[in-house]
Structure 1
Amino acid sequence: MKRQARKLVRNCSFLFVALNLAAVAAEPAAPRLYEMSTETGMPHMEENLRYAVAKERRCMSTHDLSSAFWMLRDVSLQDCKLVKASQEADAATYLLECSGGHGTTGDARWELAPERITGTLRVRLGGKNMTFYQRITARPVGDCG
């Protein structure tokens, strides 16, 4: 009987911890001010046009991850959006969904850590053999003001 009771307590404890971790992962983090560096790479371009880096400070929460990549606001991707595919405590993945029927595909993956978040968007433009990526590295520098 004691053995069954211990097993029940252990299973309940495991379930409690798992439910708490799932709840924490599902809650959006409070917005924070980030120092962001965005690298855009286009391997098909000439060497001097292949990479571009932009720096900015932006207030952001985990709720904003699907819209953090500025390239998604470009006219060529205006009918595309990132849709969350999975969420874990330390990572989130998204699939690129486009409604224009042009065959553009892609995905994004975010690595979430207290000292830094890093996201990479990969896109293959439909009908062309063109790919590009954007990589955001963001360090928290304070609270939003």
Structure 2
Amino acid sequence: MAEPVRLRPGAYAVEVRLDLPHLAEAGARKTLRLCLAGLPAAGFPVLSDNMPFAACRAADLRQDGDGVTFAIRCEGRAAPQGTADYRLTPDGFEGRLALRLGGKSMTLTERQTGRWQGDCAPGERPLP
């Protein structure tokens, strides 16, 4: 196993793009700010709006060098599921989350690109 890459603690500007199958230009885009203490113990969260993944948890988080993978598991029958694959640098990350909606054969892809911006603001709590 390769030595793990450590993310620099602080605030990250994260560009988020949600790709919808068969709709090349219809995906939603936004930029938001995350405060991180390093690699979140529960994996990176799904950041797109109106997604049924808010109550889901990360499982089987693994890091090998600059690569991080984990599964996204939701409770219930026909619940949504997903997988995540990230690449880390000390000052940023790029990730791809493949999100399969429960009871449907549709998979959405959320892409995240985070760049370190500096220290977190006073009172801003980092993701655990």
TM-score normalised by structure 1 residue count:
0.67
Matched, 1:36 2:14: yes
Structure with larger RCO (C-alpha < 8 A, sep 6+): 2
Gaps in structure 1 of 5+ consecutive residues: 1-17
How far does residue 72 in structure 1 lie from its aligned partner after superposition?
8.7
**Residue type at the aligned position of 1:53:** R
User: 1:140: which partner in 2?
Assistant: 116
Q: Judge conservation of contact 1:40–1:52 (CA < 8 Å) in 2.
A: yes
Aligned residue pair count: 120
1:62-101 correspondence to structure 2 within 5 Å: 62-63=39-40, 66-71=43-48, 74=51, 76-101=52-77
* C-alpha spacing 1:40/1:113, structure 2 compared with 1 (3 Å): same
Give the CA RMSD over aligned residues: 2.9
Instruction: Name the amino acid aligned to 2:43.
Output: S
TM-score, length-normalised on structure 2? 0.74
Shift of 1:89: 2.6
Task: Report the residue type matching 2:20 in the other structure.
Answer: M
The answer as to 2:84 corresponding to 1:108 is yes
Kindly provide the CA deviation profile for residues 63-82 of structure 1, in whole angstroms up to 9, marking residues without a partner as x. Answer: 266243224983x3354222
5 Å-filtered alignment, 1:1-80, equals 21=3, 25=4, 29=7, 31-44=9-22, 50-60=26-36, 61-63=38-40, 66-71=43-48, 74=51, 76-80=52-56
Instruction: After the TM superposition, list the runs of 4 or more consecutive aligned residues in structure 1 that deviate by more than 4 angstroms.
Output: none
Higher Cα Rg, which structure: 1
State percent identity of aligned pairs.
Answer: 27
Query: Can you give the 5+ residue segments of structure 2 that lack an aligned partner in the other structure?
Result: 122-128
